[in-house]
Structure 1
Amino acid sequence: MSAAGEQLDRLVEIMARLRADCPWDREQDLRSLRPYLVEEAFEVLDEMDRVAEGGPWRPLGEELGDLLFQIVFHARLAEELGEFSMADVGRSISDKLTHRHPHVFGEKQADGTPQPLANWAKLKAEERKKKTGRESSVLDGVPTHAPSLLRAERLTEKASRIGFDWPTLQEVRAKLDEELGELDEAIVSGNRDALEHELGDVLFSLANLARFIHTPAEDALRMACRRFTTRFQHIESALRSEGVPLGEATLEHMDKHWLAAKAVEKGLPPPTRIPRSPLVALRLPVPDLAAQRAFWDRVAPLLGWSTERGGSDEARYTDGMYRLVFTQGPSAPSPATFTFGAASAEAVERLRTLLEGSSPGSVLEGSGATGRITFRDAAGLRWEYAFGDR
């Protein structure tokens, strides 16, 4: 099992224990958990915005964990009622993704060019018909309670998948001008129903324009709200420092501070985000590839890694994201130590026991009690297997 799988199993077990022994967790139901699910989703969005502005990634990982806990919580409630389990949740999305990506997991087009968008709507319609027994709409699946700008963008996106779309960006922009003209007429009329109708059409057209320029309207408006908040709070701070009570400053006075806040904002350098270059593979030459392969074939499964098919002149191992490749070649014992993260102290002890039994002398130091071991493989390379931040 991978490290991610072990930690998910651990979280599922913790949830079961909380439902059994914690009075607060035991009292919750689907209705009471709704606000927490929404709150955690928006906290994830907040951290995503901070990352987009050059902030650290780790807080985003923590918020994703909080959101994952909500999913595990809901799955536990369903499991207690005999409806479904967390395993069913994972199986459902895995089955859905493999079915909707035949260009990845199944057959490709005759010329070898995948056409995912061309098949996506058709595959989803087939799934819904199989589930409900009726023909579905292309627009099904957009939550009615989603923020309206986001929903408008998703509705137009879904309609575009079957060809119902403007051919060019210029035509989308012209439609916005048309809707603004109709809103001006409604403003002149003063008719409340007409105002709501035409303003809605303007906002819908803006959301569609946002889709065409690949700038989600919901994100753009959220960031505009953040800028407004920062600038307005600058006004409040400036007025306090001047001894002017809030509510007594003139519009001209406040506008002066607003412009000052904008000037400060523009003077800040844009966030510098160099695209991350992930470590994909670690290639290490070893003098005896057969001995190295025999060693790692035993060790890799306990690390959550699996053997990957490769040429006869290399031994390959992967955890699904990273790859460790040993090749035949001259090498000397490395002065560096490579570290694997352990899921638990027990996992550290399991590996130590295996190594002591199959390769006596390979464990250099440590144990499950210390939460880490250092070991040497058949090629003399040093490795560490450690639990926690060590």
Structure 2
Amino acid sequence: MAALRKPESGCPWDLKQDHQTLVRYLREEAAEVLDALAAHRPGDAATEVHLCEELGDLWLQIAFHAQLAADRGAWDLHEVERAVVEKLVRRHPHVFAEVEVAGAEEVLTNWAAIKREEKGLGPESEPRLLEGIPASMSPMDEALEIGRRCAKVGFEWPDLEGVLDKVKEEVAELQAESDPVRVEEEFGDVLFSLMQWARKKGVDPDAALRRQMIRFKGRFESVEDDARAAGGWDHRDLDQMEAAWQAAKRKAKP
């Protein structure tokens, strides 16, 4: 990156970039890592290589931003690394100091307390529970974060069955609505409830949806191949497409 950013002998494109012009590439590379994770199968050579490559592309964005800062004498990649190492050590006193914890939940409680101390916040100045959620989060991730924060203070269903009952309740309310505005609101309630069920169940909804879309695309290719073999989509009705779909599902099962 230092060579690419070197005046006169560097790359014209790299020399034109700044933190803001790189934002879109950071988003794209992060999305490609998520796709690689969705397709990843531990031990499978092809998906291992793919994940490694995509993580490298994402790391390049970090290196690029650090080089921009180094060029103006602000900070560099080593300071990025040093800052995160110091933070990890400070927030893991049960590993790097003498603090003892009973389990993962206590680790999270201590982590939150240490973060408040770092910011100089006491109980009286503590921000509202749902403040400070990054605006750049996807709606799916924000819904999960809202649920996590509320659960920390006990505003949570006592069991998984209660969340599923809430999902069913919201679906029934959605089915009963006809007004467009209310339909949208009820649809949002269904999605939010599903996010909380996934959170409580330990399912990553983003990864689940990405994997489902990979499966869907693979099965739909079989439907498309069948249509092409028959002379095109005009030569296939819904029943025939459904039959091809079911055949693809059976073939995909181990």
Residue matched to 1:101: 92
In structure 1, what is the Cα distance between the partners aligned to 2:128 and 2:67? 32
- Distance change in 2, residues 1:165/1:84 (3 Å): farther
Larger RCO, structures 1/2 (Cα 8 Å, 6+ apart): 2
- Distance change in 2, residues 1:98/1:224 (3 Å): same
Residue matched to 2:135: 144
* Higher helix proportion (structure 1 or 2): 2
Query: Can you give the 5+ residue segments of structure 2 that lack an aligned partner in the other structure?
Result: none
Residue matched to 1:83: 74
- CA deviation map 1:106-157 (0-9, x unaligned): 2324xx6352022222222333446xxx633444554323332222112212
Query: Is structure 2 residue 61 aligned with structure 1 residue 73?
Result: no
How many correspondences in the alignment?
244
Residue matched to 1:254: 241
CA contact (8 A) 1:125 1:137 kept: no
Query: 1:63 Cα deviation (Å)?
Result: 1.7
CA contact (8 A) 2:163 2:196 kept: yes
Residue matched to 2:44: 55
Residue matched to 2:171: 180
Larger Rg: 1
Query: Is structure 2 residue 223 aligned with structure 1 residue 235?
Result: yes
Sequence identity, in percent?
41
Query: 1:64 Cα deviation (Å)?
Result: 1.2
In structure 2, what is the Cα distance between the partners aligned to 1:123 and 1:239? 60
Query: Can you give the 5+ residue segments of structure 1 that lack an aligned partner in the other structure?
Result: 1-14, 270-390
Corresponding residue SS for 2:163: helix
Corresponding residue SS for 1:26: helix
Query: Is structure 2 residue 179 aligned with structure 1 residue 191?
Result: yes
TM-score, normalising length from structure 1? 0.58
RMSD between aligned alpha carbons?
2.1
CA contact (8 A) 2:227 2:235 kept: no
Residue matched to 1:285: none
Q: Kindly provide the amino acid, as one letter, of the partner of residue 17 in structure 1.
A: A
Query: Is structure 2 residue 5 aligned with structure 1 residue 19?
Result: yes
TM-score, normalising length from structure 2? 0.86
Residue matched to 1:29: 18
Query: Is structure 2 residue 107 aligned with structure 1 residue 120?
Result: no
* Higher strand proportion (structure 1 or 2): 1
Query: Is structure 2 residue 167 aligned with structure 1 residue 169?
Result: no
Q: Kindly provide the amino acid, as one letter, of the partner of residue 19 in structure 1.
A: R
- Residue number among 182, 196, 211 corresponding to 1:223 in the alignment: 211
